[in-house]
């Protein structure tokens, strides 16, 4: 596909890297010559310096032959204007990044009236991910599927766990829980496990299960699953605002530490039930005075990755039960893995996942459509949810009789709202949504999971 990306900041460059990796023809537009030159040299793409909302600039970028335009600048109004002009000039699909909370509730209206394929708010999506793990703090990460009916939970097996040393066959026999272990990561290496795979303390595993089965499973292995009750957030940006609203709505106490006085005053007006503290989040005395040792959840959302990681280490030393750290730069993602911290959030990656899901769906021409896409285990695996169409070529054939590629696992079937953890005798039918876990990259369709 021919894709034009307007805006080469953190999000734009991440999209360039991901979409180039998937083999698309990418052209970038940014107002800064130096930024365009850097991205073009790094990823071997075409680039133009100028205003992405300018008709001549878009024409230079070959808008007439583009399949998709992604407006990812830091200015919402500019992104919307880029998409509007692109639709008129090139008749292509358009995606706009929109961050302002005032526009968040108008997303559907903007999409319909401006003919947008997607309206993306990475801050809101990031807040949703953080809220999920604070409500289920045992998990490192939670990915949702089947419109919220199924979760893929990632967690680390603790020391002296009853899971240490048992095979997956033994796990099902001992615990009698309808859960499926989908991935297993040990010392940075990820596998799709089978029944003979042995679990060890320190492994990060992911499981698929319904909410009821999740609770039973974690209860039997002795891990607490109840939500945190008090949360401290460092940084008062848009993610913090969205997150605080979500947490307050379910009765979780929220305290925000923000260094900018004017922003504190704004947050106090918008969040009357939260406690807003004016001060430096890196001030140890301030954190102690505000009771860091008494909170159960700590979320580091400052604009500086290094500060977020140091603050998270301090929160860990203070005994905080659940810690979430925002990290934007790839180099620090690697460092994060060595610090034995809890949950890392990367807003730009969340945006990239949403766009990749849409791009792959545009390429689809067979028997399904991508409903959800999540990348896992430092991008070593993907979890995809496919909607099965009427022309699916393997209807009503037991899974054990299908020639499914190595490195692919059919993890869940959603049939009219009923959730099935599939066994060998189960079949796939039109109208189902099927969750697939794979170490293979670039799948666009359910047909891609089968051997030729």
- pLDDT of res. 367: 52
* Mean pLDDT in residue range 204-233: 89
C-beta neighbour count of 401 within 10 angstroms: 10
When pLDDT is cut at 50, 70 and 90, the band that residue 216 belongs to is: confident
Enumerate residues 6+ apart whose C-beta is below 8 A from 238: 99, 101, 123, 124
pLDDT in tens, 190-202: 999 998 999 999 9
* Mean pLDDT in residue range 110-125: 89
Domain 2-120 has CATH 3.40.50.2300: no
Q: Is the pLDDT of residue 222 over 80?
A: yes
Q: Is the pLDDT of residue 302 over 90?
A: yes
Count of CA atoms in the C-beta half-sphere (13 A) of 410: 28
- pLDDT of res. 378: 80
> pTM of the entire structure?
0.89
Superfamily of structural domain 359-449: Regulator of K+ conductance, C-terminal domain (3.30.70.1450)
- pLDDT of res. 364: 66
Q: Is the pLDDT of residue 213 over 90?
A: no
d(CA 55, CA 116): 18
* Mean pLDDT in residue range 356-374: 79
- pLDDT of res. 172: 84
Q: 145: helix, coil or strand?
A: strand
171 or 244, which is more confident: 244
When pLDDT is cut at 50, 70 and 90, the band that residue 66 belongs to is: very high
Tell me, rounded to whole angstroms, the distance of Cα 391 from its chain centroid. 30
* Mean pLDDT in residue range 71-83: 94
105 or 147, which is more confident: 147
Domain 142-220 has CATH 3.30.70.1450: yes
Bridge pairing between strands 322-326 and 343-345? parallel
Q: Is the pLDDT of residue 365 over 60?
A: no
Beta bridge partners of 28: 5, 47
Average pLDDT, the chain: 91
Cβ-in-10-Å burial (0-12, 13-18, 19+) of 129 comes to: buried
Q: Is the pLDDT of residue 105 over 80?
A: no
Q: Is the pLDDT of residue 186 over 80?
A: yes
Q: CATH topology of 142-220 equal to that of 359-449?
A: yes
| CA-atom Rg of the chain in angstroms | 23
- Residue 183: closest CA among 374, 367, 24: 374
When pLDDT is cut at 50, 70 and 90, the band that residue 176 belongs to is: confident
* Mean pLDDT in residue range 230-251: 96
d(CA 241, CA 258): 11
pLDDT over 70 percentage in the chain: 99
* Mean pLDDT in residue range 293-322: 95
pLDDT over 90 percentage in the chain: 70
User: Per-domain residue ranges for the chain?
Assistant: 2-120, 142-220, 230-345, 359-449
pLDDT in tens, 329-355: 877 777 787 788 889 999 988 888 889
Please state which of the four CATH numbers 3.40.50.720, 3.40.50.300, 1.10.10.200, 3.90.1580.10 is assigned to the domain occupying 230-345. Answer: 3.40.50.720
Enumerate residues 6+ apart whose C-beta is below 8 A from 212: none
């Amino acid at each position: 596909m021919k894709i034009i990306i307007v805006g080469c900041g953190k999000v734009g460059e991440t999209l360039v890297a991901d979409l180039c990796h998937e083999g698309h023809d990418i052209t970038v537009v940014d107002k800064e010559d130096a930024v365009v030159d850097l991205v073009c040299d790094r990823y071997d793409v075409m680039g133009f310096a100028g205003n992405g909302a300018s008709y001549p600039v878009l024409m230079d970028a070959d808008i007439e032959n583009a399949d998709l335009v992604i407006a990812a600048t830091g200015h919402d109004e500019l992104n919307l204007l880029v998409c509007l002009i692109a639709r008129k000039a090139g008749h292509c699909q358009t995606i706009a990044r929109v961050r302002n909370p005032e526009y968040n509730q108008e997303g559907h209206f903007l999409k319909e009236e401006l003919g947008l394929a997607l309206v993306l708010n990475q801050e809101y999506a990031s807040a949703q991910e953080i809220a999920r793990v604070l409500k289920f703090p045992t998990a490192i990460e939670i990915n949702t599927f089947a419109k919220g009916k199924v979760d893929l939970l990632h967690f680390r097996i603790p020391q002296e766990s009853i899971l240490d040393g048992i095979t997956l066959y033994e796990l099902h026999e001992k615990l009698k829980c309808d859960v499926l272990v989908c991935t297993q990561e040990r010392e940075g290496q990820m596998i799709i496990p089978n029944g003979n795979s042995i679990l060890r303390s320190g492994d990060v595993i992911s499981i698929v299960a319904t909410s009821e089965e999740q609770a039973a499973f974690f209860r039997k292995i002795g891990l607490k699953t109840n939500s945190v009750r008090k949360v401290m957030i460092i940084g008062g940006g848009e993610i913090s605002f969205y997150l605080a609203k979500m947490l307050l709505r379910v009765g979780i106490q929220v305290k925000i530490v923000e260094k900018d006085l004017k922003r504190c005053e704004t947050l106090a007006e918008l969040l009357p039930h939260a406690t807003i503290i004016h001060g430096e989040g890196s001030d140890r005395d301030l954190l102690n005075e505000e009771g860091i040792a008494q909170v159960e959840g700590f979320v580091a959302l400052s604009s500086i990755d290094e500060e977020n990681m140091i603050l998270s280490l301090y929160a860990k030393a203070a005994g905080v039960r659940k810690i979430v750290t925002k990290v934007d730069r790839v180099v620090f993602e690697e460092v994060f893995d060595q610090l034995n911290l809890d949950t890392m959030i990367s807003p730009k990656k969340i945006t990239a996942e949403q766009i990749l899901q849409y791009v792959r769906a545009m390429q689809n021409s067979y028997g399904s459509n991508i409903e959800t896409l999540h990348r896992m285990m430092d991008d070593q695996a993907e979890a995809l949810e496919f909607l099965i169409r009427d022309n699916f070529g393997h209807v009503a054939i037991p899974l054990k009789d299908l020639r499914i590629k190595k490195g692919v696992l059919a993890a869940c079937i959603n049939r009219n709202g009923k959730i099935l953890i599939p066994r060998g005798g189960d079949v796939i039918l039109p109208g189902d949504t099927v969750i697939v876990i794979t170490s293979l990259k670039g799948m666009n369709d359910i047909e891609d999971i089968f051997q030729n």
